[in-house]
């Protein structure tokens, strides 16, 4: 199959079994059948979103660059949305921006917690040193 092929949501939904599994991620259709047994998160994860839009589930996990390269090799076409199809829960710009902002916020917050903890530990050490000197 060509990656230029268009699929409807109904066509993708027909492929939801372990032996025939399609996923939609960012409006691109992937045939993940050959990857089900190799998926590091287990086959259940893929089967739960089989035949559906798995964009949110894919982005929530925070897949590596290697995982995204593997995904590119499974691309078989694009999703052609029709009226009445489920709306995507996550747009491509939102997901990229959100994950970047969350990672930066977590990094700064974690750094601050480590610094505060180190300061408290040093203060407790100094306090105990002065208490031992008095005894």
Residues 132 and 124 sit within 8 Å (Cβ to Cβ): no
Neighbours of 49 (CB within 10 A): 19
CA–CA distance, 69 with 57 (Å, rounded to integer) = 17
Mean pLDDT of 33-43: 89
Q: What is the pLDDT of residues 53-83, one digit of tens each?
A: 998 989 888 888 898 999 999 999 998 888 8
* pLDDT given at position 92: 46
């Amino acid at each position: 199959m060509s990656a230029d092929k268009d699929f409807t949501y109904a066509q993708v939904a027909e492929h939801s079994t372990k032996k025939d599994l399609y996923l939609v991620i960012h409006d691109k259709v992937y045939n993940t059948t050959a990857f089900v047994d190799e998926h590091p998160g287990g086959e259940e994860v893929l089967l739960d979103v089989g035949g559906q839009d798995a964009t949110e589930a894919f982005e929530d996990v925070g897949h590596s660059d290697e995982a995204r390269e593997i995904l590119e090799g499974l691309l078989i076409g694009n999703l052609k949305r029709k009226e009445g199809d489920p709306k995507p829960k996550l747009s491509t710009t939102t997901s990229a921006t959100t994950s970047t902002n969350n990672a930066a916020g977590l990094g700064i917050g974690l750094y601050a917690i480590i610094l505060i903890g180190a300061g408290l530990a040093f203060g407790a050490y100094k306090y105990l040193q002065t208490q031992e000197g008095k005894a």
